[in-house]
A and B are shown apart, each in its own frame.
Chain A
């Protein structure tokens, strides 16, 4: 049982981590609390459904097109909604509410087009491999491999490339970034494309695993947000740590109590971290003049 619990925890941790890395890219560079990220997540899964199930396009092509779509959707959100708000120096609250409104807008458009019922994306992925008492579902392996690839790619991108350094630089000191003549919009547009495409990866994998309905985005987003805040917003390692920590806690609650207490447990962890360690678990030491 313990091993089974660990396997489930790792698979769901991988999914949360993928979504959290996408959210993190955007949050790290823009400090925007991008609730509508959950809308991008939902939209990507439905585009994938249309291509893969309704039109019979191959899995890889359908995935690629869906990710492109979600990247563009994120970019549109930035330029149509957030960028003008930033220009006006709108408050955090205004951006938060705008983002929530975009989320509601997208989810209801999807519900109008596709209906509210759950749709399954495939059958092949629910095939399982069993070793004695231990059952591994095929999609869980894909989830973990996708996570590893994404994590390595993101890590190298952020640490080694010029664009990656720009993301950290603009997040740490946006005024200085502009003052030395770097292109703010380009970097922010880029993180929206990257982050939104990653949300697409998460939603296609989760959709193949458990199916989709118009409301999937909110819980996926909230899990990611909790992972980012619990782990610490500055570093990608923290995000991954946060994601696996809450996945383990969720699975522990499901195993020992009931799935019905899962979200309460998640948010209890969030509250505790917010109150006692509001910088997250992996705190980055800062010089006094930076505070």
Chain B
């Protein structure tokens, strides 16, 4: 039972992550390899705010969102005009720089040793210290994110993003500030990723930089590309698929020694085939490009 709850909590955290990345990928056509950096910024921000400043989790999470969204401007503001491969590279550079900072800034992040003993969230005397309580918390937040995303996708903001994605020149010609919309989409996306990071930190109660690597960014992008982007069901199906596949393989009796590599090989093959035959992913709307 605990195992099942653990899987559900991971699904809720990754749902927030994939929905967050859906905005730049599926709505503005920007492929970003920096999502794990914002995920990490959220995790570290909440941890430090709670432990160093004694701020309540629910206030810290709001501050973490703002910090992450503000830091996203460092990537988006200068590099949003870069096309295709160059934008991906700029985001990758940011990912590596943030990882290096988390890894080396001993005074702040405790570097490779990480930060143990992160307190559990608490509000009105309720402490989210057991698995079922934590599932309730992460589930409610994930559902809230889904609802916000749904509103956002069908709002005028979402429609402008879609217009930019489909035909940037037309969007400019009707007077839309394309650059501003892309930067906003990127900032919202980074803020949402910080929520996932915050939940992860207080769930595991220990964070270190290895949870926020380039590989993690690649994993999050794979979720969105395999599930599909540009609508709400794509990213959610992506999460279910990518989180449940390894569990399925375990039940089929694949030995742990080869499981990690075998899983990666399967993801890679699926990605290659999807890119070739179904660029909108399993259930997405947007065909990359």
A105: which B residues are within 8 A, CB to CB?
264-265, 268-269, 272
For the complex, is B79 an interface residue (Cβ under 8 Å from A)?
yes
Please report the C-alpha to C-alpha distance between residue A278 and residue B92 in the assembled complex, in whole angstroms.
16
Contact with A along B257-289 (1 / 0, CB 8 A): 010011011011101100110010000000011
A274 and B258 in contact, given A91-B288, A105-B265 (Cβ under 8 angstroms):
no
Which chain B residues in 72-98 approach chain A with CB under 8 Å?
78-79, 82-86, 88-90, 92-94, 96-97
Q: Does A166 contact B (CB under 8 A)?
A: no
Q: Does B42 make an interface contact (CB < 8 A)? A: no
Contact between chains at B89 and A274 (CB < 8 Å): yes
Question: How many A-B contacts at CB < 8 Å in the complex?
Answer: 120
A231 to chain B, nearest CB (A): 15
Decide: A97 near B225, CB < 8 A? Known: A270-B89, A278-B86: yes
Instruction: Give per-residue flags for A80-98: 1 if the beta carbon is below 8 A from chain B beta carbons, else 0.
Output: 0100110010111110111
One of B104, B258, B271, B279 near A261 (C-beta < 8 A): B104
Interface size on B, residues (CB 8 A): 40
Please tell me if the beta carbons of B275 and A112 are within 8 angstroms of each other in the complex: no
Q: Chain A residues near B84 (CB, 8 Å)?
A: 91-93, 96
Residues on the A chain within 8 Å of B279, using CB: 90, 94
Complex interface: chain B residues within 8 A of A218 (CB): 214
CA distance A112 to B267 in the complex (A): 15
Asked whether A14 is an interface residue with its Cβ less than 8 Å from the other chain, the reply is no
B205 lies within 8 A of chain A by Cβ: no
Which of B88, B101, B261, B269 contacts A96 (CB under 8 A)? B88
Question: How many residues of A sit at the interface, in one of the four size bands?
Answer: 35 or more
B90/A98 in contact, CB under 8 A: no
Expressed in whole angstroms, the Cα–Cα distance for A275 and B75 within the complex equals 11
B98 to chain A, nearest CB (A): 9
A68 to B86, CA, bound (A): 31
**Is the CB–CB distance between B267 and A104 below 8 Å?**
yes
Partner of B96, one of A91, A97, A267, A278: A267
A260 at the binding interface (Cβ < 8 Å): yes
Q: Flag whether A29 is at the interface (Cβ < 8 A).
A: no
Q: A264 contacts the other chain (Cβ, under 8 Å)?
A: yes
Nearest opposing residue in chain B for A258, CB measure: B104
On whether the beta carbons of B265 and A96 are closer than 8 Å, the reply is no
Measured CA separation A85–B104 after assembly (Å): 41
Check B100–A102 contact: CB distance below 8 A: no
**A256 CB, nearest partner CB in chain B, Å:** 15
User: B96 touching A85 by the CB < 8 A rule?
Assistant: no
Residue numbers in B under 8 Å from A100 (CB-CB): 218, 271
**Interchain residue pairs with CB less than 8 A apart (29):** A88-B276, A92-B83, A92-B85, A97-B31, A97-B221, A98-B271, A100-B271, A101-B269, A101-B272, A104-B265, A104-B271, A105-B265, A105-B268, A108-B262, A108-B265, A111-B261, A112-B258, A225-B89, A260-B100, A261-B100, A263-B100, A264-B97, A264-B101, A267-B93, A267-B96, A271-B97, A274-B79, A274-B82, A274-B89
Extra inter-chain contacts (20) besides given A93-B288, A105-B269, A264-B97, CB under 8 Å: A33-B85, A81-B272, A85-B276, A92-B83, A92-B289, A94-B288, A98-B271, A101-B271, A104-B218, A104-B265, A107-B264, A112-B262, A218-B214, A260-B100, A261-B104, A267-B92, A271-B94, A274-B79, A274-B82, A274-B86
Shortest Cβ-Cβ A-B pairs, 6 listed? A91-B289, A92-B84, A264-B100, A105-B268, A267-B93, A101-B271
